[in-house]
Amino acid sequence: MRILAWRLEARGYRVCNIGYETRVDGIEHAVREVKAKLTDCAVDQGVVHFVTHSLGGLVLRALLADEPPALPGRAVMLAPPNQGSEIADRLHRLGWLEPVLGSLAVQLGTNEGDLPQTLPAPSIPFGVIAGDTWINPAGPLWLPSPHDGTVSVASTRLAGMTDHIVLPYTHTFIVNAGPVADQVNSFLRHERFDRE
């Protein structure tokens, strides 16, 4: 997220680039870690906006369900598995998911009881940017088209979103693209993506 942070700083935002451990037992661990770093970072700055990538969208949903912000801003989710991950389903069935990605990854499936289905939508206006270009060879084998090689465009959608846009980037590199930063800026400022 460092390149995206630089791009947003150039557009006038004060950016706190918050990381968290993903190989944990449950999302609560990631939420605690992010909450502690948010407290250090977001002093009396007023409104706080969020920009997430992938699993970060689910962490944000859990964070806002636990503690809605006092001065709510907006959120942009980049390539979030809001409806779960079809790849997580497949790797779990093969027995590869937990050894490779940890216990939290096992909870990221598409079934009704899996984590993405149990988290509420964000309590603030949010937009979603999905990618539809892939380099991951498993993508076309395991995901419905269109997809970014890791998350299907359909899985990024979430009831209650204010706007949704699909851009020609892969799951990993969507965070680095200048046009993505432009769209993030548009949503944070105007609560909509720029389609002109």
Domain count, the chain: 1
Query: For 9-30, what is each residue's pLDDT tens digit?
Result: 999 999 999 988 877 778 888 8
- What is the value of pTM for the model shown? 0.93
Residue 195 resides in a domain: no
pLDDT at 151: 94
Which structural domain, as residue segments, surrounds residue 166? 2-190
Look at residue 144 and tell me whether its pLDDT is greater than 80.
yes
Predicted local distance difference test score (pLDDT) of residue 20: 84
In a domain, 85, yes or no: yes
pLDDT value at residue 96: 66
Instruction: Identify whether 168 is part of a domain.
Output: yes
Q: What is the pLDDT of residues 164-177, one digit of tens each?
A: 999 999 999 999 99
pLDDT confidence bin for 193, thresholds 50/70/90: very high
Where does the pLDDT of residue 153 fall: very low under 50, low under 70, confident under 90, or very high at 90 and above? very high
In a domain, 196, yes or no: no
Q: Does a structural domain hold residue 54?
A: yes
> Is it true that the peptide bond before 146 is cis, omega within 30 degrees of 0?
yes
Please name which of 161, 142, 169, 139 lies closest in space to residue 79, comparing C-alpha atoms: 169
When mean pLDDT is compared across 24-33, 47-56, 63-72, 148-157, the lowest value belongs to 63-72
Determine the average pLDDT of the residues in 38-49.
76
Residue 151 contacts by C-beta under 8 Å, 6 or more apart in sequence? 54, 79, 80, 81, 85, 130, 131, 143, 171
In a domain, 45, yes or no: yes
CA distances to 15, 18, 164 from 42, in Å: 9, 11, 27
CATH code at 144?
3.40.50.1820
pLDDT of residue 130: 98
Give the count of beta carbons closer than 10 Å to the beta carbon of residue 66.
Answer: 11
Phi, psi of 48 (to 5 degrees): -115, 125
DSSP state of 167: E
Q: pLDDT tens digits for 106-140?
A: 788 898 999 999 999 999 999 999 999 999 887 88
Residue 15 lies in a domain: yes
